[in-house]
Structure 1
Amino acid sequence: MRWRTKSVAEENRRPRGAHRRGGARRGRRRKPLARRRGRRIAAWCAGLLVFFGGAGVGYLYFKLNDNISSVDINEALGKNRPEEIDNGSMDILVLGSDSRAGDNGKYGKDEGSSRSDTAMIVHVYAGHEKASVVSIPRDTVVPRPSCATPSGKTSPAAKRAQFNEAYSVGGAACAVKTVEAMTNIRMDHYMEVDFAGFQKLIDRLGGVKVTTTKSIHDKKSNLNLRAGSHTLTGEQSLGLVRTRHGVGDGSDLGRIKLQQAFIKALTDQVKSIGLFTSPTKLYGIADTATKALTTDKDLASFDKLTRFANGLKGIGSQDMRMATLPVSPDAKDHNRVVPHTTAAGQVWQALRDDQPIPESALKEGDGAKTEADGVVK
């Protein structure tokens, strides 16, 4: 998919804008070099895998800076954005882009330009001990603001556009602009991971353990799993998070439930791996992850990602609330959905207020219950 977290107590007291700028930590006593390196290493992979909500490990090599691609979101969008709220919380847009190019082609074909195959808003609450992850169905019809195109032209605003088209129109900046327009929440950071890179990263981690309660077969995503316990390879993991036809009615709403279950399993897997026993494996994971990663410019260096990761390392799978944006059928196109008039607004309001998402809102609309619920554990 071009899927495209500081002492914690001190970092959590920093204003939200400071996290956004990746500022240096203050007021800390310097620890011995070996201990500082250990803390940095433990924080590194957490930053790389923040879209999985977990903490992991990485390797301190400055050359890894060159692996990271970046987009200057602030420069692209300017000042016409939602207000920065300095309450200690943080919002991150995580995208998996559906480019189907090069090594990605064998996982399906798509017409037209690259599209964001997966989109999640990760809201980290003040204190950085819990998070809500809200998945946006790719088939959601929303108003899209005008966006600059890669060729330097401007694509005019559209009253009705499929959500994932924003990425194909104007890349990361347009995707962020569209999300901010629909939520009125400023995205503090952006992360994107490539399909082929995701597969390689899972293989470097030694696979991910899951249990399927039903068999899943989908030729289009090269997935063939019997009911039972599995250690998924990178290719199987990629097939699972991409399958639309292996479970349920083939809608994106069912696929989202599989993605969310996989993310929790991956979070637990990363925490359980003893990477310190193998420096070679440790470096291989960091190298693979950085090559697969694109971030906003404020995170595009080893030091910035390390500080970012260190602030989120305490969040585990049990601290994550996985949710799908409440949607309703689109009256003009039965193959599309639209944000649920009331419930979607309640979700965004809760995140703006740094409050838990009301359970009543998540019970509304399509996607609250799908045939994919409980299929992966």
Structure 2
Amino acid sequence: MLFQKLADTYHEFTVLRDVNLCINCDVCVRQCSYHVHFRDGVRSCVTSDNSKCVGCLRCSALCPTGALFIRFNGSNWASQSGLLRNIYKQAETGVKQSDASQGCPPIHVYWDKLMLVTGTADESLSASLPKFLLNKPLLLDTTPSIPINPNLLTAMEIVAEKLNLAEIRTNEISATDGSCKYVRIAVTHNVAKLALKAVADGAKVIVIDGGSGGDSPFGCNNDQLMPIELAIGAVDKILRDEGVRESVFVIAAGGIRCSSDVVKAVVLGADGVSIGAIMMIAVGCSLCGSCHTGKCPWGIATVESNLCKRQNPELAAEQMINVVNAWTQEIDEMLESLGSGSLSDMRGNKD
């Protein structure tokens, strides 16, 4: 009985409301799709149910008086705050940040242990790559694994068209032999062998999906996955060793936090990087981890009509374009500091 009470009273998030600032305007009540906030008829004021809060931060962001603060009753949730602030600023202004890796959470990831060095380009491979990968190795995944607001899919199509970015369409099938043109592989221990098998079966694009923060298939547990940084290098190596590297494009999807990670992914052997999650952050995502509910208060991971209206495709596209432009500026500065003219000069030079 005691432990049941503990379970009932423990909440992952606590809504802190400053009663001196709260004007009971009901903005939080209308904006929260999880019904955390409600008007107390007895006390004639707005109050909150902490057990329903997922930490999306929409209420605190839209509170006109700044009366709300969401506290996480743990230790790791706020580790992404610096990263989110950077992307929010880029989405608003389109301007690069002073340090492309600033705000990356202080967790043990291999991206932060990699040092960028220049080397000789693999000219035969570079010559076979489409121009968009040579200049802008950023791709948009327009076939996500979870329900996404159709307005945002439209926004990403606008971005792809205006900036000449490629789209990952994992449901495309070759019209000639029926084989999959795009193959998505989770970063399990045998990811390299799976990639080689996919190429042998006719795959033209391999999406390495997962790792530290990626969208891995639900069938894979965390203890079965390897960091995507290691997976990229392993796949690139086995494809080169078998002499088939030039026949396939390798796309890294997942675990990319900032523009410096993009450069490092290319150095490790990726031809391009999927930034679908970054695009969602650009339009308000706070990484609350409740996409599966379909009730995203920001109108992102949802198909409910009343929530979808919260995202304007033209405005969302503008914010996404701002982030891409900011990242492009940061990547150009990194390449200049490394004495390299383009990312193609660094692709696969991980020695």
Name which one, 1 or 2, has greater alpha-carbon Rg: 2
Pair in the same fold by TM > 0.5: no
Question: With CA pairs under 8 Å and 6+ residues apart, which has the higher RCO, 1 or 2?
Answer: 1
> Larger % of strand: which?
1
TM-score normalised by the chain length of structure 1? 0.27
| TM-score (structure 2 length as normaliser) | 0.29
